[in-house]
Amino acid sequence: MSDSLGRGPLTPARPANPDPVRVMVVDDSAVIRGLLTRALEGDPDIRVVTSVGDGQMAVNSLQRNSIDVIVLDIEMPVMDGLTAIPKLLAVAPQVKIIMASTLTLRGADVSIRCLSAGAADYIPKPTSTREIGGAEDFKRELVAKVKALGAAAKRAGSRSRGEIRPLTPALPLGLKREVGPIVTRPAPAGALAAKPDVIAIGSSTGGPQALFEVLSHLKAGVSQPILITQHMPATFTTILAEHISRQCGIDAREAKDGEPIVQNRCYIAPGDFHMLVVQRGGANVIALSKDPPENFCRPAVDPMMRSILKAFGGRKILACILTGMGQDGLKGCTDVVNGGGTLIAQDEASSVVWGMPGAVAQAGICNAILPLKEIGPHIRKLASRAA
Q: To 10 degrees, the CA torsion angle through 376, 378, 380, 386?
A: -170
Q: Which residues pair with 200 in a beta bridge?
A: 227, 319
Residue 307 appears among annotated catalytic residues: no
User: Is 204 among the catalytic positions?
Assistant: yes
**Residues in a beta bridge with 22:** 47
From 51, 61, 111, 204, active-site residue: 204
Which residue type is seen at 24? M
From the candidates 73, 328, 335, 347, which is the catalytic residue? 328
Q: Using an 8 Å Cβ cutoff, are 321 and 357 in contact?
A: yes
Q: Which of 27, 73, 109, 231 is catalytic?
A: 231
Please indicate whether residue 243 is annotated as part of the active site.
no
Residues with a catalytic annotation lie at 204, 231, 328
